[in-house]
């Protein structure tokens, strides 16, 4: 599990100039290895790789402060939050490697690209923007997404009476006459908005891309007239409608009825780069990327013509500048996380062409993309930051830049359950306690309960699951439903 250490910079004493093929890989966990290299330049490179032939690990996306709404946070804090949390199967993450992710708006912390987190589609990708980046699939496949279409026409909700509504916004505030879908990752609550209707839905499974059977089923928990601010519990979504969309929700969304949420996406590849369309079915984790620097074993070099044009105008294009870089690469055997230090005498960095050639020639990768680089580039391994990020404070000391998201490599610990309570059992709180929105201390607060509050255990697939060092129970009280740690509960019937 995550080890509570100071966030120190570590540079192994054995980091000496050596050919890449002579690098000694250090085992971090079964199936996950780490190495450091110093190349001519000088250039220092930090690489983690996960063996796709070894089961028991996964890749996921970390969001700053756990929010799809947008935020900024340093990568070590994101890794701490992810560590010992559970996925939708109840498996616990043992965080091993983390890197920074996509470019983002520095004011809002909203990433520029889409996001798939733990199987949930939480942010749309830009329409036909050239590519959609790296994807990790639930079955262990690694793919590169191409140009995609994923706007409102591709995504809908279907009610029990057969009525369909297109989803105009995904984890973004609704506009006039629009329907927005908020997933539980967005924030603790939906955004404040003009008068409308909000429908709370308990989903039976993650709202995935390309679901089977015409959409992911869910049950309507409540339908309320609302100006926003509806709580977003774990495993739930909220349909938020304004104007004409609100009127359709009033007519067709009925408490206790089933509906289906269908989020589809069309991938067209990128013919100019030789990238074939990707199959997104089973997408578990992914985010936007900056540039494809290796496609089918070839460095595209499509950035060089633009750089040459700018050079004739007396300008520089970032692709040809030697800078710190963060990369994700893969071949049939391994997935690689790569951080290249730069902007110092110790390590000058790489340009896009050099980074692509490094992935091809040293790592024997077939595909690679760049993520956000520069002062954002950071490599966290087993509780410590291993590289030397280029951002400095006024005293000249290295600081870690708060970023919008990142990638995580984690081993999977089997689901562990408590049988202390049973579904529908009456319970009381043993002390004053915060009722959480999900199973873990990283979730927001749904309510504050006094000692002696009476409630019942809810039948949920994860009730009694171990996460964040204790067991968590889904409970229902007079005015709220949420999750409590086991030591805060007593049976009212024994």
3-state helix, strand, coil in the chain (%, to 5): 10, 40, 50
Quick one: pLDDT band at residue 20, thresholds 50, 70, 90?
A: very low
User: What's the mean pLDDT in 270-276?
Assistant: 96
Residue-wise pLDDT for 155-202, tens only, equals 999 999 999 999 999 999 999 999 999 999 999 999 988 899 999 999
Looking at residue 191, the DSSP 8-state letter turns out to be P
pLDDT higher than 50, residue 16: no
**pLDDT band, very low/low/confident/very high, at 494 (cuts 50, 70, 90):** confident
214: pLDDT confidence band, cut at 50, 70 and 90?
A: confident
Domain definitions of the chain by residue range = 20-145+267-413, 152-263, 426-491
Label residue 393 exposed, middle or buried (CB < 10 Å: 0-12, 13-18, 19+).
Answer: exposed
pLDDT in tens, 385-408: 999 999 999 999 999 999 999 999
What is the model's pLDDT at position 93?
98
Q: What pLDDT does 479 receive?
A: 85
Question: Please, what is the average pLDDT of the chain?
Answer: 94
Q: What are phi and psi of 290, to 5 degrees?
A: -80, -55
Q: What is the mean pLDDT of residues 269-290?
A: 96
CA distance 179 to 426: 38
Task: Check pLDDT > 80 for residue 356.
Answer: yes
The yes-or-no verdict on residue 11 having pLDDT over 70 is no
CA dihedral (22, 51, 44, 297) positive or negative: positive
pLDDT in tens, 429-469: 999 999 999 999 999 999 999 999 999 999 999 999 999 99
Distance from the first to the final alpha carbon of the chain: 35
Residue 144's pLDDT is 98
| Cα separations in angstroms, 343 against 42, 197, 340, 358, 456 | 11, 52, 10, 18, 58
Mean pLDDT of 425-430: 98
Q: pLDDT of 29-50, one tens digit each?
A: 999 999 999 999 999 999 999 9
Residue 12's pLDDT band (cuts 50, 70, 90): very low
Give the pLDDT of residue 19.
52
Listed residue (119, 424, 405) closest to 283, CA to CA: 119
Q: Could you tell me which residues are beta bridge partners of residue 226? A: 196
Give pLDDT, residue 7.
Answer: 39
Q: How far is CA 36 from CA 12, 24, 26, in A?
A: 8, 8, 9
- Confidence at residue 6, expressed as pLDDT on a 0 to 100 scale: 41
Q: Does the pLDDT value for residue 351 go beyond 60?
A: yes
Look at residue 310 and tell me whether its pLDDT is greater than 50.
Answer: yes
**Strand, helix or coil for residue 311:** helix
* Average pLDDT, integer, range 288-310: 94
Report DSSP letters for 400-437, one per residue.
Answer: PPPBSEEEEEEEEEPP-B--SS-TT-EEEESS-EEEES
| Topology (CATH) of 426-491 | SH3 type barrels. (2.30.30)
Query: How high is the pLDDT of residue 469?
Result: 98
Nearest-angstrom CA–CA distance, 169 and 151: 8
Q: How many CB atoms are closer than 10 A to CB 136?
A: 25
**CA distance linking residue 200 with residue 219, whole number of Å:** 9
């Amino acid at each position: 599990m995550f080890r509570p250490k100071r966030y120190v910079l570590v540079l192994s004493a054995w980091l000496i100039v050596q050919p890449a093929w002579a690098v000694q890989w250090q085992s971090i966990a079964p199936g996950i290895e780490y190495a450091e290299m110093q190349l001519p330049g000088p250039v220092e490179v930090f690489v983690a790789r996960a063996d796709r032939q070894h089961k028991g690990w996964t890749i996921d996306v970390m969001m700053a402060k756990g929010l799809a709404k947008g935020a900024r946070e340093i990568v070590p804090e994101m890794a701490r939050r992810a560590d010992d949390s559970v996925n939708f199967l109840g498996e616990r993450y043992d965080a091993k490697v983390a890197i920074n992710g996509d470019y983002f708006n520095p004011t809002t912390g909203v990433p520029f690209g889409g996001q798939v987190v733990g199987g949930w589609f939480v942010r749309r990708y830009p329409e036909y923007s050239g590519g959609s980046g790296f994807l990790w699939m639930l079955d262990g496949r690694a793919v590169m997404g191409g140009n995609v279409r994923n706007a409102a026409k591709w995504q809908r909700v279907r009610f029990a009476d057969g009525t369909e509504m297109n989803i105009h916004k995904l984890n973004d505030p609704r506009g006039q006459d629009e329907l927005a879908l908020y997933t539980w990752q967005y924030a603790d609550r939906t955004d404040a908005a003009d008068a409308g209707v909000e429908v709370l839905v308990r989903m039976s499974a993650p709202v995935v891309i390309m679901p089977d059977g015409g959409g992911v089923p869910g049950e309507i928990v409540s339908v309320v007239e609302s100006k926003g601010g509806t709580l977003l519990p774990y495993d739930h979504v909220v349909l938020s409608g304004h104007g004409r969309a609100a009127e359709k929700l009033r007519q067709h969304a009925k408490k206790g009825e089933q509906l289906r949420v269908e989020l589809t996406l069309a991938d067209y590849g990128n013919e100019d780069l030789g990238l074939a369309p990707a199959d997104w079915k089973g997408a578990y984790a992914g985010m936007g990327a900056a540039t494809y620097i290796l496609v089918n074993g070839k460095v595209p070099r499509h950035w060089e013509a633009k750089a040459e044009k700018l050079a004739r105008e007396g300008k520089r294009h970032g692709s040809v500048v030697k800078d710190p870089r963060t990369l994700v690469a893969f071949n049939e055997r391994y997935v690689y996380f790569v951080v290249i230090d730069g902007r110092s005498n110790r390590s000058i960095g790489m340009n896009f062409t050099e980074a692509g050639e490094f992935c091809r020639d040293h790592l024997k990768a077939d595909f690679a993309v760049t993520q956000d680089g520069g002062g954002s580039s950071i490599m966290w391994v087993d509780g410590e930051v291993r590289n030397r990020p280029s951002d400095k404070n006024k005293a000249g000391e290295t600081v870690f830049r708060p970023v919008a998201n990142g990638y995580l490599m984690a081993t999977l610990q089997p689901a562990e359950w408590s049988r202390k309570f049973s579904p529908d059992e009456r319970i009381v709180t043993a002390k004053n306690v915060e009722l959480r929105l999900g199973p873990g201390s990283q979730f927001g607060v749904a309510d504050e309960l006094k000692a002696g509050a009476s409630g019942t255990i809810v039948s949920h697939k994860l009730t009694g699951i171990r996460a964040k060092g204790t067991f968590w129970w889904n409970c229902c009280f007079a005015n709220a439903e949420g999750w409590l740690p086991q030591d805060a509960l007593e049976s009212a019937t024994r």
